[in-house]
Structure 1
Amino acid sequence: MKKFYMSLVNHRKTMVMIFTMVFVVCLLLGNLVKVNYDINDYLPESSPSTVSLELMQEEFDGGIPNARIMISDVTIPEALEYKEKLEAVDGVTAVTWLDDVVSIFVPLSTLDTDTLETYYKDNNALFTVTIEEDRRIEAVSSIRELIGEDNAMTGSAVSTAISTTETVLEINKISIFTVLFVLVVLVMTTNSWMEPLIVLIGLGLAIVINNGTNLIFGEISFVTNAAGSILQLAVSLDYSVFLLHRFEECRQENPDVKAAMTEALCKSTSSILSSGLTTVIGFLALVLMQFRLGPDLGLALAKGVAISLITVFVFMPSFILLTYKWLDKTRHKELLPKFDLFGKIVKKVTIPMVCIFVILIIPAYLASNANDYYYGSSNIFGSETQLGSDTAVIESVFGKSDTYVLMVPVGDTATETELSQELNSLPQVTSIISYVDLAGAEIPLEYLDENTLSQLISKNYSRMVLSVDVPYEGEDAFSLVEQVRDIAQKYYSDTYYLAGEGVSTYDLMETVTNDMVKVNLMAIAAVFIVLLLSLRSISLPIVLVLSIETAIWINLSIPYFMDTPIFYIAYLIISSIQLGATVDYAILMTDRYKENREMMNKKAAVIQTISDVTVSILTSGSVLTVVGLLLGYITTNQLLGQLGIFIGRGAILSLIIVLFVLPGLLYLFDPLIIRKRKIKQIQMGAD
């Protein structure tokens, strides 16, 4: 390694030029990366709802209804005029209303009440609209302009369109606040006014390269787009700072800056690599998820940390050597006090903290697995947003509703009729639009226009559109999906296909719950193995992993005690993120304790270790905390917001356990940790 590092420092200008060119290219490529805001697109390709959707797109021009539009205070003729205008909106492929189900030329009092009130109630008209995926933003904007602010719209297409436009602005705001906070933290924790800028330049370069190289994935999820860059910044920050501090230490012993940098790289490689590898592996555990949002986020984050490591070992040494004179010229006094007193205080409370820690392990674990969950995207926007308000207004008049689409082989109208009758007998089914239902209605089939028929009959399949008065997810919705599938199975065995927002959410629920145990166990096992190899101890990996896992369990148990439902996707992702991002603190604490233990007794080693590492741990931990809380409180997307709160709160809990509990665990397990190491100094006094 020494020869490699010597070669790097001797070609520092070349390295800086190469990274600068890569930076410019990736800055341009980053604009070409598409962002997907639809959670259901990340279901496994083999899931029943995904297969159904793909087949439906092959057989029929129109997709599944994905928006509900309510127009208030309108007559039947006025509602029909609105329907024509909605159908004319670019991107809208179908609009369904009362006139598609029954004749509106008869007195309304003669119509079935449930069917009538599904579409028209108290002079409010509710339209079910299908919007093309590629034109959601433009179509939703045009519909809002058409209906005005006094009317309401909701649905997955609306949610996705709003997420696409608003999240970008929110993330830009969060990024600005994050950079400013990082700048302040670095100014407080470094000894040169120039050092924060050097660190931020290296971090910015690594982040831009990672964003540009995301083009290899074709597109990334909105979760990756929102959290990827700021998480990369938070977890990679201490790599550059650690290298800079090592360089300063080596310069005090060796005035030759190139030799000092080579020595600093050799001394810091093991610590930075072990820290980086545990983070990368923690993120890579997400790749094991069947739910493809996990691999999307895991690969991007792991790649980002790997690029940050390459940047630290290749670009930063060259850049530091080119700017070290500025570092020298802008020296200032230390702005933070020494943490010697803090170390003594922690030593006094660390054993009681260990006792509390042990008491909390089992309750925290049990509570973290007993939460109530949201699985889909129906609750992403709260009541304080326009979409949340619109959704509440529509549900207050027409109740919660969803649309399922069932496809069965074409040709057997008798069986279709029996199927339709049994489905209509379900109390949650308010209406069915299908070939057999319309043929048996009062309107003769020949009066049906060609467009309507093309939406119900294809070459191979007959399609039934079911309006159901259940929400997109929850026990009632999931129970109905199972009932509809059981009924369809009875008549058509395995030749039917069912799709819809609630159906996709049901499949999503089954997919992500199956992922949980596998992802967590693999993340823990992988991190444990890396720690085992790097620390060469069996007891230490157990102590470190248990410490961080307990912080994760406490973090996830808080919603249970607050009786707050959580997004299962955030619940699943945070376990790997918190483990990968904060186990570094425990590694740093342990490494420094082992170093200090070679020269002093264990009590003194604990105090000195806390004094040595507190600034470094607080630097990284505070950034991760603020990044998470900014994401949590600025974004209107509640899934991202909850993930941000988990990240911020998880960082705080990990900090508390590493700073107040881990020293006590190291003290108690000292005989297992130090038993094979030679103590260089005779221990003075009792331990």
Structure 2
Amino acid sequence: MVSQRGKGMERIVKNNKLVILTTLIFTLTMGFFTLKIKINPDVTDYLPESDTVVKNFNKIGRDYGGSLTGFLVYESDKIFDERSLLEVKRLSEEMEKVEGINLVSSISNLVDIKSKDDDIRIEKVISFDSLKDEKYLSEKEKFFKSDNFYKGKFLSEDGKKSLIILFFDDDCDQQKVCAEIKNIVKKSELKGKIYYGGLPFLFEEIGTLIVKDLTKLLVPCILIMVIILSISFKSVEGVLIPLFNSLISIISVAGIMSILKVKVTIISNIIPIILLAVGSAYSIHFISKVYELESEGKNRKEAIEESLKVIFLPISLAALTTFIGFISFVGGSYLVMIREFGIFTAVGVLVSFFLSVTFTPSLMIITKKSRSVVNSEKENDRFVEIVDKIIKYKKMLVTLSVTLSIVSLIFLPKISRSADIIEYFKRGSEFRKSNDIIEKDFNGSSRFLIIAGGNMNSVKNLKKVEEVETFIKDSLGLNNTNSIIQVIKRTNKIIEGKEQLPENDEKLSNLYFLIEGEKSLDRLIKPDKSETVLEVSFQDGLSLERVRKLQEKIEEKVKMVNGDLNFSITGMPSVYIRLDKSILKSTIVSTFLSLGLIFILLSFIFRSLIKGVKGILPIFFTIIMVYGIMSLTRISLDIATNLIGSIAIGIGIDYSIHYLLRLNSELKNNKDFNVATKNTLLTTGRAILTNVFTVSAGFAVLIFSELKPLSNFGFLIMLTMLLAGFSTIVIFSVSITKKERK
């Protein structure tokens, strides 16, 4: 088997030009498909379609003309003056023309039922023929500030802001519609200022930031890699070959995603950065080995052939463990986006490995030797000093590592979680400012959607829905509700003089007849009166724990009044709750799954359970310390940072494998453990450090991401890689027993 592998390596060296040509053709093909890749910023798609909350959310989208609502906030010195009202009217009318918007609600088009001399008619709340009448405008402003039905919904308390509500079709291209809306606003040259809010604009902003991050962060990441590789290898090939490997891996994965019609999400957005950092690791170890053998007097061809034979096992094992780390997300995560991230990053790792044992040696044959020595004597002396100090103070360093791990364990249970998408935007960002205005002046944009299924031609059933709405207002303090109950009671007040539900089903039928045909009511009740929706709006500032308790209390209440009705709760707050639960589960399951699989693999490789345990020790200490730092720095566990554990295991365990395999080899040639350790540190240790700094620097670029979860993720992965490299070198220098040394 070894000889067959050896022959395979010889064929790669012999047919190096064919390997290069094949790789280039494949890359160009994948590059063509990469140009067609699309982005999906919609977080509701990240949960499986079979999820109950998602099913109900999509049901509202189908049955009630869309489940997503956008907001335009128009701000001027005074809303109730002629200019401002005309601009709101003009803007509302322009929005109605946008394909993908099925309904627009604003103070300019609101209607109400009026009764005069026994004549009942529906007319607009604001008459635009009376805008020059200051008294009329003043009365209407007071009306919007005091009327229970409209208060806080369309006009801010200071009278300077007005809300325009846009109801999106569920099957529309949200990003395209939002872009068109912004373009219309820009061309309108309004005197007032416009702010954008709501989920469609949030998703559009995320999509914009994903593209911005990809274009803004990739180039700095490449430059940092170039600098570190230049310092480490001091050769053109030492810089370009790892870089080529990473870029080809990125293009390959993007091309495959495009072919399979898998869109880029807020999480898969970081795949290029990961592959740029991780994809270079295998070629770095290969190049280091070639240079090491060249420094011993071998020519380029001999050095490459021997490197392929010697380095193939540790590189393949490192790739396998990294693959396990990423693929564990498939079995360990409930979220679709994280499963997709795991699959395609794992594919990228395999491509990087394959390139490192085919494309890398083929290029190195062509480039020949590009430097005379591996490192200058001065550099070697400096590195030897560092190695000697590590060996001298290894016990103290291990004690420090253990102490830090224990301290981290104490803070571990205090890690907070975050699933609110608004929190993904940094404070001070334009979208965050807009959202704060909607929160402050219009009671927030978060909405529970409570579906009540049953015969809504029955006053008895409507009273049950009313009981739930009253409970939400009086007991939970959520006063901003919208329902068919309110419309019926308001209409009944005009007809009967009583703001209450009608006395019997016949009178209810008459009221339905009066309001029939009003498009806005289609969002509250089905045409056949078989189901209704109760909307409960509140501010995003509430903690997720508070939102969870509110939902639990609503669920308890609807169980008590169920009867002939079937209640179900959905809406973005419910999605956030489900996301939060999934994030916690994903973190625990994927971390322990990858740790368990890698322990089994290491135990099999070294034919020892003890060595298997020791193999995962450095990364175990690393994960504990990183989660402890998360707790201390108040970085929340979210859709990005929940990936830390498995990624740390998958990437960090590579260092253990390379170190242990090289140490085993050195111990066979030299029985003195300290000498073997020193030789390991001077060779593999140097490659590990090069890789640590390359990977860390690559991920550090993510700190500058516009999205907070990715920024935190970049910082934590950088820290993880530094700690993993440090732990590997220090812990293995002291934890190998005398029996194992022999």
Name the TM-score, length of structure 1 as normaliser. 0.89
Q: 2: CA distance between counterparts of 1:182 and 1:336?
A: 20
- Identify if the C-alpha distance between structure 1 residues 17 and 612 changes in structure 2 by more than 3 Å, giving closer, same or farther: closer
**1:89 paired to 2:105:** no
Shift of 1:87: 3.0
Q: Partner of 1:309 in structure 2?
A: 353
**Could you tell me whether the CA contact under 8 Å between 2:599 and 2:616 is conserved in 1?**
yes
Alpha-carbon distance, 1:522 to partner: 0.5
Query: Does the 8 A contact of 1:629 with 1:645 survive in 2?
Result: yes
Match of 1:548 among 611, 615, 619: 619
Q: Once the two structures are superposed, what CA deviation does each residue of 1:634-657 show, in whole Å capped at 9, x if it has no partner?
A: 211111111111111222222332
In 1, Cα distance between equivalents of 2:299 and 2:662: 27
Structure 2: give runs of 5+ residues left out of the alignment.
114-124, 127-139, 495-510
CA–CA separation in structure 2 for the residues paired with 1:504 and 1:70:
29
Q: State the Cα distance separating 1:390 from its structure 2 match.
A: 1.7
Amino acid at match of 1:649: L
Q: Is the 8 A contact 1:91 1:138 kept in 2?
A: no
Q: Which residue of 2 aligns with 1:117?
A: 152
* 1:438 paired to 2:487: yes
Q: Secondary structure at the match of 1:374?
A: coil
Change (3 A) 1:257 1:340: closer
Greater mean alpha carbon deviation, residues 293-302 or residues 35-44: 35-44
Distance in 1, Cα, partners of 2:209 & 2:472: 39
| Residue matched to 1:685 | none
Q: Supply the AA of the counterpart residue of 1:449.
A: G
Would the aligned equivalents of 2:469 and 2:534 in 1 still touch at CA under 8 Å? no
Q: Which amino acid aligns with 2:738?
A: P
How has the CA–CA distance of structure 1 residues 546 and 332 changed in structure 2, closer, same or farther, with 3 Å as cutoff? closer
- Could you tell me which amino acid in structure 2 is paired with residue 556 of structure 1? Y
C-alpha separation between the residues in 2 aligned to 1:463 and 1:101? 21
Residue aligning to 2:647: 577
Is the Cα contact below 8 Å between 2:144 and 2:154 reproduced in 1? no
Q: Deviations over 1:590-644 (max 9, x none)?
A: 2233333330422333333333334212211112222222111x21111111111
Closer/same/farther in 2, CA of residues 66 and 662 from structure 1, 3 Å limit: farther
Segments of structure 1 that go 5 or more residues without pairing to the other structure are 678-687
Distance (whole Å) between structure 2 residues aligned to residue 553 and residue 21 of structure 1:
44
Question: CA offsets, 1:346-388, max 9 Å, x none?
Answer: 1222211211222233331342332122113121112221111
Gap change, CA 1:397 and 1:212, over 3 Å in 2:
same
Q: Find the residue that maps to 2:278 and give its secondary structure.
A: helix
Instruction: State the alpha-carbon separation in 2 of the partners of residues 496 and 221 from structure 1.
Output: 35
Looking at structure 1, the residues matched to 699 and 560 of structure 2 have their Cα atoms a distance apart, in angstroms, of 49
Instruction: Report deviation, 1:82.
Output: 4.2
| Higher deviation after alignment, 131-140 or 504-513 | 131-140
Residue of structure 2 equivalent to 1:462 = 531
Paired residues, what number?
A: 669
How many angstroms does 1:312 deviate by? 1.5
Determine the structure 1 residue equivalent to 2:553. 483
Q: Is the 8 A contact 1:92 1:131 kept in 2?
A: yes
Q: Secondary structure at the match of 2:153?
A: helix
1:399, distance to aligned residue in structure 2 (A): 4.2
Distance 2:251 2:529 in 1: 49
- Other-structure match for 1:195: 238
Q: Which residue of 1 aligns with 2:591?
A: 520
Q: Is the partner of 2:423 in helix, strand or coil? A: coil
Shifted more, 32-41 versus 653-662: the winner is: 653-662
Q: Summarize deviations over 1:445-474 as a string: whole Å, max 9, x none.
A: 424534224333145852324132242752
Q: Look up the SS of the partner of 1:424 in the other structure.
A: helix
Q: Partners of 1:41 and 1:489 in 2: how far apart? A: 29
In structure 1, distance between residues paired with 2:281 and 2:99: 50
**1: CA distance, partners of 2:329 / 2:678:** 37
Residue matched to 2:165 = 128
Aligned twin of 2:205? 162
Instruction: Rate the CA distance shift 1:210–1:460 in 2: closer, same or farther, 3 A.
Output: farther
Deviates more, 1:157-166 or 1:467-476: 467-476
1:614-633 to 2 correspondences below 5 Å: 614-632=685-703
Return 313-322 or 111-120, whichever deviates more: 111-120
- Judge conservation of contact 2:402–2:621 (CA < 8 Å) in 1: no
Cα deviation, residue 440, structure 1? 2.6
Aligned to 1:389: 433
Q: Does residue 670 of the first structure (1) align with residue 732 of the second (2)?
A: no
Q: Against the structure 1 CA distance between its residues 585 and 330, is the aligned structure 2 distance closer, same or farther, given a 3 Å change threshold?
A: closer
Structure 2 SS opposite 1:152: strand
| Match runs of 1:244-323 below 5 Å | 244-250=287-293, 260-288=303-331, 289-323=333-367
Point out the more displaced range, 342-351 or 605-614: 605-614
Offset, 1:297: 1.0
Q: Is the 8 A contact 2:68 2:199 kept in 1?
A: no
Instruction: Call closer, same or farther: CA 1:101–1:263 in 2, change over 3 Å.
Output: farther
Task: Tell which deviates more after alignment, 586-595 or 368-377.
Answer: 586-595
- Give deviations 1:515-559, integer Å, cap 9, x for gaps: 332212101001111211222232222123232122122112223
| C-alpha spacing 1:251/1:652, structure 2 compared with 1 (3 Å) | closer
Which of 386, 393, 411 is the aligned partner of 1:342?
Answer: 386
Q: Is the 8 A contact 1:220 1:296 kept in 2?
A: no
- Find out whether 1:420 has 2:457 as its counterpart: no
The residue type paired with residue 323 of structure 1 is T
CA distance in 2, matches of 1:343, 1:330: 20
Q: Which whole-Å deviations, capped at 9, do the CAs of 1:253-289 have from their partners, x for residues lacking one? A: 7967555533321211111011111111011111121
- In 2, Cα distance between equivalents of 1:28 and 1:221: 16
Q: Do 1:174 and 1:630's aligned partners in 2 also have CA atoms closer than 8 Å?
A: yes
| Residue 101 (structure 1) shift | 8.8
Task: Quote the residue 2:517 is aligned against.
Answer: 449
Mean CA deviation greater in 106-115 or 540-549: 106-115
Per the alignment, residue 375 of structure 1 pairs with 419
Q: Does the CA-based 8 Å contact 2:47-2:54 persist in structure 1?
A: yes
* Structure 1 Cα separation of the partners of residues 6 and 445 of structure 2: 66
User: Residues 68 and 657 from structure 1, CA distance in 2 versus in 1: closer, same or farther, beyond 3 angstroms?
Assistant: farther
Cα 1:261–1:653 shift into 2, 3 Å: closer
In structure 1, distance between residues paired with 2:661 and 2:612: 12
Q: CA deviation at 1:111?
A: 4.4
User: Is contact 1:101–1:433 with CA below 8 Å preserved after alignment?
Assistant: no
Identity %: 17
In 2: Cα distance, 1:511 partner to 1:252 partner:
52
Kindly state the Cα deviation for residue 97 of structure 1 after the two structures are TM-superposed: 4.7
| Cα deviation, residue 15, structure 1 | 1.9
Letter in 1 for 2:55: V
User: Which has the larger Rg?
Assistant: 2
Q: Name the structure 1 match of 2:726.
A: 656
- Where in structure 2 are the equivalents of 1:605-620 lying within 5 Å? 605-620=676-691
Match of 2:131 in 1: none
C-alpha spacing 1:142/1:567, structure 2 compared with 1 (3 Å): farther
Specify whether residues 465 and 96 from structure 1 end up closer, same or farther in structure 2 by C-alpha distance, changes over 3 A only: farther
User: Counterpart in 2 of 1:243?
Assistant: 286
| 327-336 or 154-163, larger mean C-alpha shift | 327-336
Answer whether contact 1:59 1:458 (CA < 8 A) is retained: no
1:684 alignment counterpart? none
Distance 1:518 1:126 in 2: 44
| Pair 1:180–1:490, CA change in 2 (3 A) | same
Do residues 218 (structure 1) and 287 (structure 2) align?
no
Q: 1:182 to 1:571 in 2, by over 3 A?
A: closer
Partners of 1:66 and 1:308 lie apart in 2 by 43
Mapping of 1:16-55 within 5 angstroms? 16-55=20-59
